[in-house]
Every structure is written in C-alpha cells, then in structure tokens.
Structure 1
Amino acid sequence: MAITGLGHTGLWVYDLPTMRDFYERVMGLTVTDEDDDLGIVFFSARPDEEHHEFVLQKGRTSAIGEKQQHQISWRVASLDDIRAFHRLFKQENIDVQQEVTHGNALGIYFFDPEGNRNEVYLRVEKDVRQPFRKSIDFGLEPEQIYAEADRLLADGGSAYQPVQ
C-alpha cells in the first residue's frame, strides 16, 4: 500500500460566487460539477483525466486572515505560463506575496479573494536542498529570469529569503 499522489483538496468559503469566479476565470480551472443547494463547486485542471482536483464549499467559519492551510500549489507547464500569471495578477490587482526561485522551481505566491495563499510554479530539473527561496522578477525576459535564477543559486548566501 502506498500513496501515489494528492487526489484533491478543498476549501470552506464565505463567498462562493467570488471564489468560483477567481478559480475559474483567473486560475483557468474547469468547473466539472456543482450543487447549488449544497453550495459546492468541483474544479479540474485536467477534466479529461481527473474529475476534480479542487473543491470549494460554502460554510467557512474562520475569519478571513486566519490560517486555514499552508498553501495550494498549482503546477504550470512553462515559464511563459508563469510570466502570463505575473501579468494577469498585476492586471487583476491580485495580492502577490513574492515571486521566487526555489532552485528546483520558479513560482509566484499570491492570495485568493478570501486570503488563502496559493502558488503557481514551474518545476525546474535541478536537485536543490530546501528550503531555498530567493526573490526574482518575472517581468524580466525569459533568458534573464533563468540567468538570474542560476546566479542566485550559485551565490548561495542565505538560502532562504523571506518576504520583505
């Protein structure tokens, strides 16, 4: 018996329409099912392969700002995807916590409308001891981003750069 991966995760929410819009329109997830009476929406990034990877349901009892989970991380396929999210988050005035290199990944930490921390990330084929987190600017050109990530990794210094 072994766990082969994460099946899905879910959040209790106050404002289901706002949260649905965020995860459907901004994050690009597909709604695969919903039940208005139960106040629940199921989402998938790969609806042809997986019915749902993410669920939202009305019923949150903790105050916005109180920690519910560490983060929800969404894997993307390319640096162009990361850069597109960088532009979209600016356009949508989404609260971005930090743009980073982890040495083995490039990512953007951000908050959804109810303050839940998310990350979009691109896996980089490097074996880097964690935690390693250094700020990087995804507004740069792709070759500059990769060069800066390599420089930050080679530089070492403090391997963990918290949010300023």
Structure 2
Amino acid sequence: MLQVTKPTPSHFGIYVWDVDKMVHFYTSVFGMVVNDRGVGKTFKAPLVFLSSTPDQHHQLVIAGGRPPEATFSTVMQLSFAVPSIQSLRDLRDKAMALGATKVMPMNHGNALSVYFADPEGNTVETYIDMPFYISQPHGDPLDLSQDDATILRETEAICRSDPSFMPIDQWQAQFAQKISITSPKELP
C-alpha cells in the first residue's frame, strides 16, 4: 500500500482509440504489467490497469472511448522515471520500433529526458534525475550518441553556468522547508 501524508500524484489514465494497441505499447516499452481489466460500471468503457510496482495497483489506466474526432490529445505529457542514461536510449529505441514519433532528447539540467509521441499522439517523457538544480523551464538539446561520462560532464557545466545552480540536496532542503511552512501537518 502506498503510504502518503498529504495529497500526492500517484497514477494517471488516458482515453484511447485502440485499447489493445496502447496496452501492447506501454507493456512492451515500459515493462508495465496488466493488473486488472474490464468494462467500467461508472465509466462504461473498457479499462486496463497497468503497474510497474507491487505497492500500487495501477499507475496507468488505459481507457477506451476516445472519440474518433478527438485528433488532438489534451495530455501534456506522461512521465516515466528511469534508472540510467542507457535506459533513455533503450526506451527511445523500443518506443520508435513500436510506432513512437516526434522523438526529442532534451537536457533540462536537473534531468535528462527523451520525449516522444505514443502511437495515438500522447506526449511521453522518459527521464533520469541529475544531482543538480537549476530553475525551470530549461532545455538544451541532448545528444545520446555521446558516452555517459561526456553527457554528465556537459550537464554539470551547463548547470554550473546558470545563476540558479545548486546541488540537488541543497534545493531539496530548501523546498522541504517551504512545504513544511505551507502544507497542513496531518491529514484527517
């Protein structure tokens, strides 16, 4: 069971045209596992619940019923944290092999990302956090053909040249203080 002390984003759902195609895409690219599926009693649409971790029943819900005239996705992005720079490369390649388009690697300084459009046009981000903070939005091109050491060295140089730079642990301590001032201490 996910332990939370205040409202915390935990999962998301998207309406799709082709449920099976989209389930195949997300299970193949991200290794997510189908946990449950069926037709909703309230939403009256086919629903497929996917997760990558045993502490969350679902992290992504694929829901049928996206109207055929809905050619523009209102999803700004679906983001997936990954463990390494190599994971960014591997997932980019898997996604492209399964129909992803609009692939865009980007260096945010505080994270390295690869954005792409899934087969139904939803923007997906895969990212790895960096040990740096710089104010956002920030985006430089990311060349994933470089070796990891070069990417990390260039990222640190980009960050250190930004006036807002600080190590991530310093930023986290400042943000933790900000949260403790503005958040309720305990939920009912």
**Which TM-score bucket, shorter chain as reference?**
0.7 to 0.9
Structure 1 stretches of at least 4 aligned residues deviating more than 6 Å after TM superposition: none
1:43 corresponding residue in structure 2: 50
For 1:120, which of 126, 142, 155 is the aligned residue?
126
Q: Deviations over 1:120-144 (max 9, x none)?
A: 0001121110001111111221112
1:32 and 2:35 are equivalent in the alignment: yes
Relative to 1, partners in 2 of residues 1:112 and 1:93: Cα closer, same or farther, differing over 3 Å?
closer
In structure 1, give the amino acid aligned to 2:134: V
Normalized against structure 1, the TM-score is what? 0.83
CA distance in structure 2 between the partners assigned to 1:144 and 1:65 by the alignment: 40
Deviation at 1:21, TM superposition (A): 0.5
**Structure (1 or 2) with the greater helix fraction:** 2
Task: Name the SS of the counterpart of 2:49 in structure 1.
Answer: strand
User: In percent, how many aligned pairs have the same letter?
Assistant: 28
RMSD between aligned residues = 2.2
Deviation at 1:92, TM superposition (A): 4.0
For 2:105, which of 96, 99, 108 is the aligned residue?
99
CA distance in structure 2 between the partners assigned to 1:4 and 1:59 by the alignment: 28
Verify the 8 A CA contact 2:111 2:129 in the aligned structure 1.
yes
In structure 2, give the amino acid aligned to 1:110: F
Deviation at 1:62, TM superposition (A): 6.2
Q: Deviations over 1:55-103 (max 9, x none)?
A: 0111112645413121111111222211222333444452143101111
Normalized against structure 2, the TM-score is what? 0.73
Deviation at 1:3, TM superposition (A): 3.3
1:15 corresponding residue in structure 2: 18
| Structure number with larger C-alpha Rg | 2
CA distance in structure 2 between the partners assigned to 1:55 and 1:67 by the alignment: 16
CA distance in structure 1 between the partners assigned to 2:63 and 2:141 by the alignment: 34
Q: Deviations over 1:10-59 (max 9, x none)?
A: 0011101111110111221111111168411000121x111101101111
For 1:74, which of 74, 80, 84 is the aligned residue?
80
CA distance in structure 2 between the partners assigned to 1:31 and 1:117 by the alignment: 21
CA distance in structure 1 between the partners assigned to 2:160 and 2:57 by the alignment: 41
1:61 and 2:64 are equivalent in the alignment: no
2:185 corresponding residue in structure 1: none
